[in-house]
Structures are given as structure tokens and as C-alpha cells.
Chains A and B, each alone.
Chain A
Amino acid sequence: MSQSSQPTVLETLPAFLGNTRSQLRQRTLLFRYLAIINVIVGGWYLSWRYTHSINPDALILSVLLVLAETYTYVGGIMFVSGLWRPVERQVRSLKHLTPPLPTPQWPAVDVFIACYNEPVEMVEATARAALAMDYPANKLKVYVLDDGNSAAMRQMVERLCLEDLASPAVQAIATQFQAQQADIEVRLTELTALKGEVAAAEAYLDDLPPEAAQQVPACHVATLRRCAQLLNPGPGSLAERVAIAIQTTEAERHKQELALADLARSRYIARPKPEGRPHHAKAGNINYAMFSGKTNGEFILTLDADHIPKPRFLQRVLPYFYRYNLFRGRYDDSRIAFVQTPQDFYNLPPDDPFCHSAHLFYGPIQQGKDGLNAAFYTGTNAVLRREALIGVGLHNFAQAFEKDNKRLDEFDLIGGMSSASITEDMNTAMRLHAAGWRSVYHSELLAVGLAPDDLSATLKQRLRWAQGTLQVLRTENPLLKPGLAFWQRIQYFHTMYSYFSGFATLVFLICPIIYFFTGIIPVRAFGPAFVLHFLPAYLVNRMMFSAIAWGIPSREIWRSEQYATALFPLYIKAVFSVFSSTSLQFQVTPKQRQAGVYLGLVRSQLIVAVLLILGILWKTAQAFMGQLDDPFAFAVNTGWSIYSLTLLAAVIRAAVWQPPPESADPAPSPSSQ
């Protein structure tokens, strides 16, 4: 990607005083200009559709089509509003903050690598990269949260731990700790030796007759006695004070020992999963780690098992969590609950048949959401503030507890990340926003992962996103949820709203089919009036989209357009499954290719495609026989059908797609910048 993914590094701008700055994304004004025209022309088209083009002879179909168009138009307005103020952020790395934040004050960070039956080597690569991040060794811990509870994974983590303990970075800290410990030992030995002597000396001082104290050498003794009393005010004799000093030093030694033991940075947590009780999937896995008492970092970096972080990850992200208080001369906590960074993949086939590239989402869309303080937390490549997560989690737990106090039994699985939805990430972010926490989207690519490279896994993932999002609409409608700001409500609602698009798409696909076989059209006439109204709206819409997608390969934009339409059966299924109250299972997205051809998964799309093709052929045949009554309608419907077919072709092609034979996953080395 272009400019936006690699923001200017502020440390290279020494003249700039400050640690963060943000500006409007480039070409936003062009976009706004086109967006306004788009909304006006679109509105004009739509009002013409309502007032002048409903076909009374095909009322039901007409109404369905105009409703589908209205749905699209309303969605478009929300989409445009979300892009109104896209923010590009720049930040100074943690170690270059001005004024500097001393290293001892840097926060402790826990890395949570959530996994569930992924291959051990994959998790190992991620854990290694996490340990190699540029951060003080005594402030970074990497936890593999293994929901599959596998012995091989545990062994890998233990092996990594030993290896890590022997690494130079950890050894340096260990040496430092050991030196401090040696100092403490020396002090302790001296104090212990003193303990024996001090009581006798004190007794001697106390018993010294006053006239003896007046004699020349002994007057020093009197001075000493006064000194001992004045410098060490407080009850107790000198001997008692020495005893107290020994106690404190021993406590210090114990603390130091613990710190040394705490240098084991690679750790394994597998929660017990008792039969017959809800486990709350990924949310449960992460919450268990938070409440198990085994983790205590101030910040949590969540990574999916395959997402390899770059060394500078924490350096680039942590500064957002602090704000320099100029009037008190120190850093305070900001009100930021999480910082999200982009997701990208290193195993994408050249033309990305499964539509995983998301530069539009991890570009203008996230930047737009950021501008409205509604950045989208996507579950990986993000750092969260533990305090925010727990505070909001406790609050939601208290509400659940009020309704049913049996929920206490699963507090450690539900008390942090939201467990109410199978897209726990999005729900958690919404709750944080509703509680008044702020968020940041930082557009620098800091971790890359693996995308599922078969259709089955891709569809599972998309279905989970759709179902999870709709679940949140059902349980915590953002339009009604207390605490959210107006534009945050619109942002969250738009995400949910967009998953109803399957129905609109169905209408758009069915209309030409009905025309081909019955001649019925859903508008009064596909005449010049239709073209006059439709064409400007369509062209302005395209222009606006080009302004948004500036710098993103057009092939990628085309691919997402194809998928948005072609996944209509999945979106319809998601709506039905959520609103018919079937319980939804969190489907773990497989990261390894499942071989095979998946035409069965795209049956509905195939049927529609075949009907469209047959329809075109049938009408063309009629045309040749001179039976075509309305050439305009034929042209419009054929054009629309061909366009639809090219959209549907994406998933059909993906269903039969096979990887090139020699493709091995080129895992990037963790040090690659």
C-alpha cells in the first residue's frame, strides 16, 4: 500500500515538539465534494424511482426492488458519514518520546497468543517474534493460551522459555539482578553481624554514668548516644531497629528472588474445560488468562496464533497510552483503551481469490472510524489496557449477575472480553466505547499473518463475522446502548446493517431472471428516463469510490465488490440463524489449507448464474426470431446480468481454485522490517 500504511516516523522530525499528531487523510476534501454530490444525485434518482417509475402491473416486484435500492442508498449514506473525517496518525516511538519516559517507568506488557489446535511450529514462530520485540526483557511476557491443551504445545513453550533465559537480553538483566542481590546479601550479613553487637553497645551507652560521659574521650560517646536517638526517631531500641532493618532487607531479597524467577518470559496457560459447561470460545480463553492470577501486565497485546509481530510493535503503539502533562511535568495515562493496527497476510496468492486483502478496511474505513472515536478492534494486532478491559468487564458481569447469580461460576470466563457474541472483539470494543474509553487506529503495518486459503475456511470466517455482528445487534443494539456517542452508534449500526445486504442482492439478481422468462419488469419502463436518472447516480458513485480507494490496487477493490455481492446466500443464512435463536458456535478458522473443490458451498450462486445465462440465451434467441418487444429492457437486463455474473464468478472460481504446486508458505523472518 501507499503512503497511509507507513506513517512518517516522528523521531526523524526533531523540530516537531510532541509525541503524536494527526491530520486529515489525503484527498478527503475531494471525497467530501464527490460524496455530497453522490448523496444528492442518489436521492434524486431514488425519489424518481418512488414517484415516477413504480410499475403498477408488477407491484410486488416493483416495491421489492425499490426497497432494496433504498436499503443500499441508506447504507451508502452511513458509509459516507463514516469516511467523513479519516485521521492519519503519526507517533514518536516509546524510546524517543520527548520528554523521555524513563525505562523503569515503562509498563509491563503481556502478549496473549490465543490458539486452538494450530500447528506447533506456527505458534512457535509467533512466540519467538513476540519475545524478540524491542522491549525490556523484565517487562515483557509471552503467554501461549492453548485452548487445545496439547502436550506438544506445552513442551514447545517450555523449550522456548529455557532458550530465552539463555539469550543475551535476558542474561543481561539477570546479571544486573544478581549484582543487586549480591549487594543485598552483603548488607544482610553486615546487619546480622551488627545485631549481635548492638545490644551490648546500646546497654553500655545507656549504663554509662553521666560524669563518665563528661570525660574527654567519653563525650564522644554522649554525642553518639544523642545521634542514635535523634537520627532514628521512633519507638524501640537500636537493637530492635536493626532487627527491623534485617526484616526489610530480607523482604527485599525475597522480592529480588521473585523478580529473577519472573524472568521466565515464555509461558503456557491451558484452561480446564469441564464437560457440559459453556467455554465461551476465544473470549473465555483470554478472560481465563486475565483472571487466573498468572498474568499481570498493564497492557495486553492480543495476537492470533499466526500473526508475527515486528520488533518495533510495542515501541510504536504504547506511546498512545500516555499523555505528557505539561503542568505537572510527567506522563499521565491517556483515556485510550486500545490501539488497533492493520492486518495483512504473507501467504496470499497473487490475485487473492478469497478476498483477504483488506486495504480498504485497514485504510480509509478504519481511519474514518478512528476520526469518530470508533476504531474497530479486530481481535488481533492490537494492544489493550487491562484496566479498561477489566473495569468494563466487571460492570457487564455485575449486570449479568443481577439477572442470574449463577453466572458467578463462570466469572473468570466472562468478566473481561465480551462473551455475549461470537465476534467478541467487536462487542468488547463497543462496550469500551460505551464506557467512555477512547481508541486509536494506527495505520502502520506491525504484524503479518496467514489467511485461510481455501473457500470452506474463508466462508466459515465470513459467516462467523456476520453472525457475531448480528448477534450484537440483537443483544446490544448500538442505537439504544447507553453511553455511545451519536456517530459511534451510526458506525456500529452500519456494520450490522450491512450484513442484511443479502436480501437486497437477491432482489437485484432475481429481477433480470424474472424479466428473461416472463417479460415482467419491476419499473414502469427501461426507457431513456431510466438511463437519465440511473446513469448520473451510478457514475458519481463510481467516482466517489475511486476517491476513497485512491492508492489501493483496483483489482483488490473489484475483488471485495465481487465478494460483497457473491456472498449473498451466506449473509441471508446469517440473518436467519441469528434471528431464529439457534445457538451459534464459534468456528475456529483453520489456518491450513483443506484440500478440495468446494462447488457444493456455492450451490446457490451456481443456480443463479445458470439461470442468468439461460435467461440471456433464451431472450437472445427470441430476439433473433423477431419476438423482442422492448429492446431497451433487453439491453438493460442483459447488461446488468453480465455485470452480476462477473461478480458471482469470483466465488465460483474460488471454489475450484488450487494453489500453484510449488507454493510453500514463505514465513517472514521476525526481524524483517
Chain B
Amino acid sequence: MSALPYTVISLNGNIDVNSSDALRRQVMDAVTPDQPRIILLDCSEVTFLDSSGLSAMVMALKLARESQNQLAVAAVPTQMMMLFRLTGMDKVFKVYEDRTAFETAMTVPS
């Protein structure tokens, strides 16, 4: 995992039914089908996530996986983390404390 190139996408505001299309497009643009890559969703600026937003995130994860890319999330705010736990998504997504933790994990070979 450590050797892979990565792209960071910063999400902000409400991730809900209105923003889920944009989220999907952003991830689609970042995905590189020919080479493995990690896409990190930096959620530090997210104010609110609802179930539609969450399903859009799972769809993004599916898209990334389909082209052999990976998707991780970092800096998950409290409300978002609660929803993650409630729906069991904390086991579906790889969650990092924050961006630095992610970058450290990227540089230190595990």
C-alpha cells in the first residue's frame, strides 16, 4: 500500500442527495484505471453527511475498486463517524485519523 501514488480530494459542506453526484464525478476524475492509486477523501471540512451522501461514498468506493484503485477517508468529523458506526461503514472504509496520519502511513513502509 505504501508505494502507491495518491490523490487527495477535499470534501466540504453537506454531503447529501444534492452533492452526491459531484462527489462521484470528482472520484471518477481522480481514478486512474491503468495504474493502482489511492484516493483519499479528506473530510475535515464536511459539516453533515446523510444516508444518500453515504451511499454515494460507497458508490465511489465501488468505482475506485473496479479500476483497481483504492479509496480511503481521513479526518472524519463526529457526526459522520457516528453514521459510519451506525451503518457499519467504519468496517467498509479505511479510515485515517487525519491527512498527516495518512501521509505518514504512505511514507513509512508497513
Instruction: Tell me if A386 counts as interface (CB < 8 A to partner B).
Output: yes
- Which of chain B's residues have a CB closer than 8 A to the CB of A298? 17
In the complex, which residue of chain B has the Cβ closest to the Cβ of A388?
A: B51
A411 to B51 CA separation, bound complex (whole angstroms) = 14
What 0/1 readout, one digit per residue, does chain B (10-34) give for beta carbons within 8 Å of chain A?
0000000110110010000000000
**Does A296 belong to the interface (CB within 8 Å)?**
yes
Bound-state Cα–Cα, A37 to B55, Å: 52
A322 CB-CB contact with B under 8 Å = no
How would residues 283 to 316 of chain A score, 1 for a CB under 8 Å from any chain B CB and 0 otherwise? Answer: 0000000110100101000000000000000000
Contact with B along A393-405 (1 / 0, CB 8 A): 1110111011000
With a cutoff of 8 Å between Cβ atoms, the chain A residues found around residue B89 in the complex are 394, 398
Check A293 against B59 for contact (C-beta < 8 Å): yes
In contact, B62 and A387 (Cβ under 8 angstroms): no
In the complex, chain B residues whose CB is within 8 Å of the CB of A411 = 58-59, 61-62
The reply to whether A398 and B92 contact each other, CB–CB distance below 8 Å, is yes
* A408 in the interface (beta carbon within 8 A): yes
Is A409 engaged at the interface, CB distance under 8 Å to the other chain?
yes
Point out the residue from B51, B66, B91 that lies within 8 Å of A390, measured CB to CB. B51
B58 closest partner in A (C-beta): A411
Q: Are A394 and B59 in contact (CB under 8 A)?
A: no
A391:B62 contact, CB within 8 angstroms: no
List A27-47 residues whose CB lies under 8 Å from chain B. Answer: none
- In the assembled complex, B39 has its CB within 8 A of some CB on chain A: no
Q: Is A412 at the interface (CB under 8 A from chain B)? A: yes
Residues of chain A contacted by B51 (CB below 8 angstroms): 386-387, 390-391, 394
B108: interface (CB < 8 Å) = no
Q: Is A415 an interface residue, CB under 8 A from the partner?
A: yes
Answer yes or no: B99 CB below 8 A from chain A CBs. Answer: no
Closest partner residue, chain A, to B54 (CB atom): A394
* B-chain residues with CB within 8 Å of residue A296 when the two chains form the complex: 17-18, 20, 52
B52 touches A398 (CB 8 A): no
* Set B20, B66, B87: member contacting A391, Cβ < 8 A: B87
Note all chain A residues with C-beta closer than 8 A to B59. 291, 293, 411-412
Residues of A within 8 A of B65 (CB): 408-409
Contact status A395-B66, CB under 8 Å: no
Within 8 A of B (CB), among A633-672: none
Interface bits A403-437 vs B (CB < 8 Å: 1, else 0): 00000110110010000000000000000000000
Number of A-B contacts (CB under 8 A): 65
C-alpha spacing A298/B88, complex, angstroms: 23
Across the interface, do B62 and A408 meet the contact criterion of CB distance under 8 Å? yes
Q: Is the CB of A408 within 8 A of B56?
A: no
Contact at B66–A409, with CB atoms within 8 Å? yes
What's the tally of chain B residues with a CB closer than 8 Å to chain A? Answer: 23
Contacting pair A401 B91 (CB below 8 A):
yes
* Contact status of A291 and B55, CB under 8 A, knowing A409-B66, A412-B62: yes
Chain B contacts for A399, CB-based, 8 A: 88
Whether the Cβ atoms of B21 and A398 lie closer than 8 Å is no
Tell me the count of chain A residues lying within 8 A, CB to CB, of chain B: 22
Contacting pair B56 A398 (CB below 8 A): no
- Which chain B residues border A386 with CB–CB below 8 Å? 51-52
**Cβ of A398 and Cβ of B50 under 8 Å apart?**
no
State in angstroms the CA–CA spacing of A596 and B27 once bound together.
Answer: 55
Q: Are B66's CB and A394's CB within 8 A?
A: no
Q: Are A397 and B91 in contact (CB under 8 A)?
A: no
CA distance in complex: A457, B63 (Å): 39
A415 to B52, CA, bound (A): 11
Q: B52 and A390: CB pair below 8 A? A: yes
Residues 494-535 of A contacting B (Cβ, < 8 Å): none
Closest to A297 in B: B17
- The residues of A that contact B52 with a CB separation of less than 8 Å are 296, 386-387, 390
How far apart are the CA atoms of A153 and B104 in the complex, in Å?
54
**Contact in complex: A293, B20 (CB < 8 Å):** yes
Instruction: Report the Cα distance A296→B18, complex, angstroms.
Output: 8
A290 to B18, CA, bound (A): 14
B24 is contacted by which of A290, A293, A395 (Cβ under 8 Å)?
A293
Q: Which residues of B contact A415 (CB under 8 A)?
A: 55, 58
Which B residues lie within 8 Å of A408 (CB)?
58, 61-62, 65, 92
How far is B52's CA from A595's CA once the two chains are assembled, in angstroms?
A: 46
Cα-based distance from A126 to B88 in the complex (angstroms): 38
Q: Mark A151-176, 1 if CB is under 8 A from B, else 0.
A: 00000000000000000000000000
Q: Which residues of B contact A402 (CB under 8 A)?
A: 88, 91
> Shortest Cβ distance from B53 into chain A, in angstroms?
10
Whole-angstrom distance between the alpha carbons of A19 and B98 in the complex?
A: 48
How many angstroms from the CA of A293 to the CA of B92 in the assembled complex?
20
**Known A387-B52, A402-B91; contact A394-B62, beta-carbon cutoff 8 A:** no
Distance in Å: Cβ of B55 to nearest Cβ of chain A? 5
- Asked whether A293 and B91 contact (CB < 8 A) given A408-B61, A409-B62, A409-B66, the answer is no
Residue interface mask A366-395, B partner, CB < 8 A = 1: 000000000000000000001100110111
Check B62 against A395 for contact (C-beta < 8 Å). no
Smallest CB separation, A411 vs chain B (Å): 5
Q: A394-B87, A394-B88, A395-B87 are in contact. Are A293 and B56 (CB under 8 A)?
A: yes
Over the window 56-92 of chain B, the binary record of Cβ atoms lying under 8 Å from chain A Cβ atoms (1 yes, 0 no) is 1011011001100000000000000000001111011
Give every chain B residue within 8 A of A390 (Cβ-Cβ): 51-52, 54-55
Smallest CB separation, B33 vs chain A (Å): 16
Q: Are B91 and A398 in contact, CB atoms less than 8 angstroms apart?
A: yes
Q: Which residues of B contact A409 (CB under 8 A)?
A: 62, 65-66
| Nearest-Cβ distance from residue B60 to partner chain A, whole angstroms | 11
CB of B86 within 8 A of CB of A395, answer yes
Docked CA distance A372–B15 (Å): 36
Residues in A whose Cβ lies below 8 Å from that of B87: 391, 394-395, 398
Produce 1/0 per residue, B39-52, CB < 8 A to A: 00000000000111
For the complex, what is the distance from the CA of A412 to the CA of B56, rounded to whole Å?
A: 10
Q: Per-residue CB proximity of A523-559 to B under 8 Å, as 1/0?
A: 0000000000000000000000000000000000000
Shortest A64–chain B CB gap in Å is 46
The chain A residue with its CB closest to the CB of B20 is A293
Q: How far apart are the CA atoms of A412 and B92 in the complex, in Å?
A: 15
Q: Which residues of A contact B (CB under 8 A)?
A: 290-291, 293, 296, 298, 386-387, 390-391, 393-395, 397-399, 401-402, 408-409, 411-412, 415
Given contacts A387-B52, A390-B55, A408-B65, 7 further A-B contacts (CB under 8 A): A298-B17, A386-B51, A387-B50, A393-B55, A394-B55, A408-B58, A408-B92
CB-defined A-B contacts under 8 Å, sample of 18: A293-B59, A296-B18, A296-B52, A298-B17, A386-B52, A390-B51, A391-B51, A391-B87, A394-B87, A395-B88, A397-B58, A398-B87, A398-B89, A398-B92, A401-B92, A408-B61, A409-B62, A412-B59
Closest 3 CB pairs of A and B: A398-B88, A390-B51, A394-B87
